[in-house]
Amino acid sequence: KHLQTALPVFSSNLSLSKFSPKILNITSLHFLFSSFFFLGGLPLIPKTTMRFCVFGFLSLILIVSPVSAWFFPNSTAIPPSLRNTTRVFWDAFSNFTGCHHGQNVDGLHRIKKYFQRFGYIPETFSTNFTDDFDDVLKAAVELYQRNFGLNVTGELDTLTIKHIVIPRCGNPDVVNGTSLMHGGRRKTFEVNFSPRGGGRGVRLHTVKRYTLFPGEPRWPRDRRDLTYAFDPSNPLTDEVKGVFARAFGRWSDVTALNFTRVDSFSTSDITIGFYTGDHGDGEPFDGVLGTLAHAFSPPSGKFHLDADENWVVSGDLESFLSVTAAVDLESVAVHEIGHLLGLGHSSVEESIMYPTITTGKRKVDLTNDDVEGIQYLYGANPNFNGTSPPSTTTTTTRQRDTTGGFGAAGRIDGSSRLTIFSLLLSTVGFFLWFLP
């Protein structure tokens, strides 16, 4: 904990320029280790004692180094070395394009796991799936196509696969057999699985165009002034915290809720953290893109984001061709806060609560559908004028980054200077240790 507090101050005292918290941690720790290594080579200190300290410190780094996300002022600041690694798992789904009922295709069980994760196959089914395109998978594909307004074929056609691999929210679209997405008025119908699947149906339940979690959970009337806090293991800058403040403000502008940031993570109503992989809530993250974030219905207040993403905090989403996967942090934050307040996924693509968002896209303004949903739960803000600004969904052209990793103007930034200095220290330390 003391190390996490000291590193930003340490770097600040060296007049380092702003850079990613994850880069800050790794670079600063590298510098400290290099310093220990250099000091260990000096004849003033017994080498046996210093070796113990050096390798003990190295072990401490590997054990307690906190998880931080990648943050960039804009996508052109993302080093080209951070290649787009998303497509390792989800893009393999493209191999199943054209698969249909009755086929047996190697690896098809992974598609079933995808659909089960987002609720399209009930959890009561075994997770030991086969590679058969059976009735269970066909029903799941049809429901998915219906939710996203695709042509309902029951096959993994090109458009369906193309949609499946789009980055998305980690919250399910179907909960306990109830779809949270299907648009229109209240509608119920049954989808029958094969006899081996028990014949269980999936019930579609919708309210107006916006959707709610089953049971319509919401924050109680005596908790309309909500607090939020960030996981102290995430060393976030004020700029990043400001993104979340704006996201909360978009919801408080239209409804009778107020949000205040506090320091106490353990006592706040809403807790926000960046994590990787399995982080203890049963919903593991999967690396770059894929699942971006998830949040739980009220009054849980848990809001988790994937620390492996390339988060852009400024809204400038200029990207370079096929090098990075820049995701707008505010767009994702506004969506997940909707879940925290009780809204489910919407099948209206323009809505904030639509489950997917492509890279290079910014969507932060509430649509009328979002406003109607949140006001159904909490009422309107007395100062709200009754109209919602149009959704600002912009996609910018991609361009290749030419800065190398040395800053936006070709200058060596603070992290690079510290890295170079650390390498020099390590080199000198090597000669002090091993030369007579």
- Residue range 357-373, pLDDT digits in tens: 887 788 999 999 999 99
Q: Which CATH number fits domain 225-395: 1.20.140.10, 1.20.20.10, 3.40.390.10, 3.40.50.720?
A: 3.40.390.10
336 is catalytic: yes
DSSP state of 328: E
- Specify the CATH class of 86-204 in words: mainly alpha
Q: What pLDDT digit, counting tens, does each position of 72-121 carry?
A: 555 455 554 444 444 445 668 888 999 999 999 999 999 999 999 999 99
Domain boundaries, the chain: 2-70+414-434, 86-204, 225-395
Q: Per the annotation, does 169 bind a ligand? A: yes
86-204 and 225-395: identical CATH topology:
no
The pLDDT tens digits for 203-262 are 444 445 788 988 999 999 999 999 999 999 998 999 999 999 999 999 999 999 999 999
173 annotated as belonging to a binding site for a ligand: no
Question: Residue range 282-291: average pLDDT?
Answer: 83
**Which helix or strand (DSSP H or E) is residue 35 part of?**
helix 21-40
Other CB atoms within a 10 A radius of the CB of residue 403 amount to 17
DSSP letter at 220 equals -
Q: What is the C-alpha to C-alpha distance for residues 218 and 229, in angstroms, rounded to an integer?
A: 19
15-73, pLDDT tens digit by residue?
333 334 443 334 445 556 666 656 666 555 565 665 555 555 555 444 444 444 555 55
CA separation, residue 377 to residues 169, 212, 259, 269, 353 (Å):
22, 9, 16, 18, 15
Q: Report the candidate in 165, 21, 18 with the shortest Cα–Cα distance to residue 84.
A: 165
CA-CA-CA-CA torsion sign (163, 164, 167, 173): positive
The structure's pTM equals 0.66
- Asked if residue 134 belongs to a known ligand binding site, the reply is no
Tell me if 100 is assigned to a ligand binding site.
no
Terminal Cα distance for the chain, rounded: 39
Beta strands in 276-398 (DSSP E): 293-295, 302-306, 310-312, 326-328, 361-363, 393-395
Q: Over range 317-330, report the average pLDDT.
A: 63
Known binding residue 53? Answer is no
Please say if the pLDDT value at position 416 is more than 50.
Answer: no
Is 353 known as a binding-site position? yes
425: pLDDT confidence band, cut at 50, 70 and 90?
Answer: low
Work out the percent of the chain whose per-residue pLDDT is above 70. Answer: 60
| Active-site hit among 123, 318, 336, 349 | 336
